[in-house]
């Protein structure tokens, strides 16, 4: 059975919220030394990437400003090329990309 786009949007928002909760009050140094938090963050970034992959093209076309390909590509690296993960890039995603993504997804849900 095919899932509705709304459920994928919810998955993305929930994963963003989880990540933000995991790293609350952390700086990069603290994050990079906490394997449990790093694992939890990476798992939720994979969820975001998989949800983005599963969204139908029509849903993604409504929000062309979201870097869908980058999100999907990161999931591939996290899941299949884990040794290539750059923690500075992960931290940049946490600090600079997740809040705008959540805002864009919430706007997309309301279209």
Q: Active-site positions?
A: 75, 80
Residue 15 CA to residue 2 CA, distance in Å, equals: 20
Residue 110 CA to residue 54 CA, distance in Å, equals: 19
Count CA atoms within 13 Å of residue 9 on its CB side.
Answer: 18
Nearest Cα to 8, choosing from 89, 78, 63?
A: 63
């Amino acid at each position: 059975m095919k899932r509705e786009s709304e459920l994928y949007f919810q998955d993305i928002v929930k994963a963003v919220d989880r990540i933000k909760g995991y790293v609350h009050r952390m700086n990069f140094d603290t994050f990079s030394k906490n394997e449990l938090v790093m694992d939890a963050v990476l798992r939720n970034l994979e969820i975001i990437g998989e949800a983005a992959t599963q969204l139908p093209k029509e849903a993604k076309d409504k929000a062309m400003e979201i870097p869908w390909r980058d999100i999907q590509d990161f999931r591939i690296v996290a899941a299949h090329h884990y040794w290539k993960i750059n923690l500075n890039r992960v931290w940049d995603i946490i600090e600079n990309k997740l809040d705008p993504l959540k805002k864009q997804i919430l706007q997309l849900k309301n279209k």
